[in-house]
Amino acid sequence: MKKSGIWFLLVILFFGGIGLSLAVGRISLSVEEMFAVFHGQGTSAQQLVLFDFRLPRMLIAIFAGAGLAVSGYLFQAITHNDLADPGLLGINAGAGFTVLLYLGFFTTQTSSSLLPIVACSGSFLAAFLVYFCGKQGEKLDPNRLLLSGVAVNAGISALTLISTVKVSPDSYLFVTSWLAGTIWGTTWRHVLIIFPWLFLLLPLILLQGKSLEVIHLGDEEAIGLGVPLRKKQLFFLISAIVLAAVSVSVAGSISFIGLIAPHLAKNIIKGKNNRTLLLSAFIGSLLLLYSDILGRVILTNGEMAAGIIVAIIGAPYFIFRLLKRN
């Protein structure tokens, strides 16, 4: 299939996903009912479902999917490892651990407005721990960084498991649901948390697109071509951490999007440039959007977390890429 045909298919899938995300759920809405609500003619219940529940949930799936995909793209460029993913580097685990501590020792209110901030703080702490462990002198060793991420992820996950004995049953159920990557219950407040960061960082990353292309070639090649490697690596690393942390804080612990989306984009465009980066963000949005939709319809009673749907796809893909790499 030609690139123009692929882009056309992705756009169709995107708008189709938006329509399905707004229509599908315990209370189904037809196209006519949605148009009536948008024109102010629907019932109060339909307006509540569409504007207060479905619309912010759909936007969170799009923004968080894009944020995780761009974060994975940057991590893969910095580490020169196609298997790098924010979830594998301890960012999701750090967020889950601080959320658990907050609910277990400071509050039992799972609807607290501080939860996104708490989750972000855990992601940042885990990421900087990985950074300092992976740093070798003044040089950032990509392989050491990735191994440090695996170790930190395992250690924090163990601490999270130990800490569960201190939380109430309600808090424990909420944390396990959040760690599974559920987007249920997201509001406009969550949209306002992630949108400014994505709107600010994505243009800045695109402006540094040429440097990112050179870094993809390798550290020695980048230095030889005059790129201030350490400065650029630090910028892209911080940007990747922020995007992953904010995305996880509003959408829950979701892995593998940062792994799958960049790979699919690179296979479509056959390059590593700004177009590949934007396509990665677009594919990441589609993955999380359709995973959330499937999570609503796959069970007759209740719904399955979007993170579980992504993991069902991502885990076999990770093994396939690992075997192919070997």
User: What whole-number distance in Å separates Cα of residue 95 and Cα of residue 58?
Assistant: 22
Per-residue pLDDT at 180: 81
Nearest to 121 by CA among 234, 242, 251: 242
Decide: 255 and 307 in contact? Cβ < 8 Å.
yes
Mean pLDDT computed over 214-219: 80
Q: Is the pLDDT of residue 27 over 60?
A: yes
Per-residue pLDDT at 56: 94
Tell me the per-residue pLDDT of 54-77, one tens digit each, with 9 for 90 and over: 999 999 999 999 999 999 999 888
Residues in the chain: 326
Per-residue pLDDT at 1: 57
Identify whether 280 is part of a domain: yes
The CA–CA distances, whole Å, from 140 to 80, 133, 203 equal: 12, 10, 25
Q: Is the pLDDT of residue 111 over 70?
A: no
Per-residue pLDDT at 278: 92
Identify whether 45 is part of a domain: no
AA identity, residue 274: N
22: CB partners within 8 A, 6+ apart: 29, 34, 50, 54, 55, 58
Sign for the CA dihedral angle at 165, 301, 65, 33 comes to: negative
Helix (H) or strand (E) holding 264, with range, is helix 257-269
User: What whole-number distance in Å separates Cα of residue 109 and Cα of residue 85?
Assistant: 31
Q: Provide the whole-model pTM.
A: 0.90
Per-residue pLDDT at 20: 93
Tell me the per-residue pLDDT of 129-157, one tens digit each, with 9 for 90 and over: 887 887 766 666 667 777 888 888 888 88
Place of tokens 């990747």: 240
Identify whether 25 is part of a domain: no
Identify whether 167 is part of a domain: yes
Q: Across the chain, what does the average pLDDT equal? A: 84
User: What whole-number distance in Å separates Cα of residue 274 and Cα of residue 214?
Assistant: 12
Per-residue pLDDT at 249: 82
Identify whether 2 is part of a domain: no
Per-residue pLDDT at 107: 66
Identify whether 21 is part of a domain: no
Q: Is the pLDDT of residue 40 over 70?
A: yes
User: What whole-number distance in Å separates Cα of residue 132 and Cα of residue 141?
Assistant: 11
Total domain count, the chain: 1
Tell me the per-residue pLDDT of 286-309, one tens digit each, with 9 for 90 and over: 999 999 999 988 887 778 888 889
User: What whole-number distance in Å separates Cα of residue 287 and Cα of residue 65?
Assistant: 7
DSSP 35-54: HHHHTT-S-HHHHIIIIIII
Nearest to 60 by CA among 301, 291, 313: 291
Per-residue pLDDT at 182: 84
More confident residue, 170 or 253: 253
User: What whole-number distance in Å separates Cα of residue 103 and Cα of residue 168?
Assistant: 8
Per-residue pLDDT at 323: 74
Identify whether 182 is part of a domain: yes
CATH number for the domain that contains residue 217: 1.10.3470.10
Going by pLDDT thresholds of 50, 70 and 90, the confidence category of residue 85 is confident
Per-residue pLDDT at 74: 92
Identify whether 312 is part of a domain: yes
Supply the range of the domain harboring residue 301.
59-325
